[in-house]
Amino acid sequence: MASYYQRGRRSSHLLAIFCFIWIVNFAAFVIISGFIGGDAFSGHVLDGHYYLKSHGKLTEVSRWVFIYSLCHAGFTIASFVLYFAVAIFWRLFILKKRSPQGMN
């Protein structure tokens, strides 16, 4: 059976991996948004035309690019919130359960 220290160590590795995945996803979102002209959260749909927005500039795109941008932006925001919720949970519950005797 794993000690508290070993469980905390494994969970800290998982947290680091999740953080790395989030950073890579966020970087991909920023780079792709730059290439396609913005993101759908800032853009809008008007009379069947789909627009992405970045720094006040609108770029018309196809419906599928707009949907992709909307999904990627939503996933990026959701994963950011999830990462911080897990990090807070880890800090409050996992670290507190670590036994000083188990660290030897």
Token couple for 19 = 């953080």
Output the pTM of the full model: 0.74
Per-residue pLDDT, 41: 92
DSSP assignment string, 59-74: EEE-HHHHHHHHHHHH
Mean pLDDT, 10 residues at a time, over the chain (104 residues)?
57 82 94 96 95 95 97 93 85 66 51
What confidence score (pLDDT) does residue 96 get? 67
Q: What burial class does residue 18 get, using C-beta atoms within 10 Å of its C-beta: 0-12 exposed, 13-18 middle, 19+ buried?
A: middle
Cα 62-63-65 angle, rounded to 5 deg:
65
pLDDT score at 86? 82
**What pLDDT sits at residue 70?**
96
Predicted local confidence at residue 99, as pLDDT: 52
- Domain range annotation of the chain: 4-97
- Residue ranges with strand state E in the chain: 39-46, 49-54, 57-61
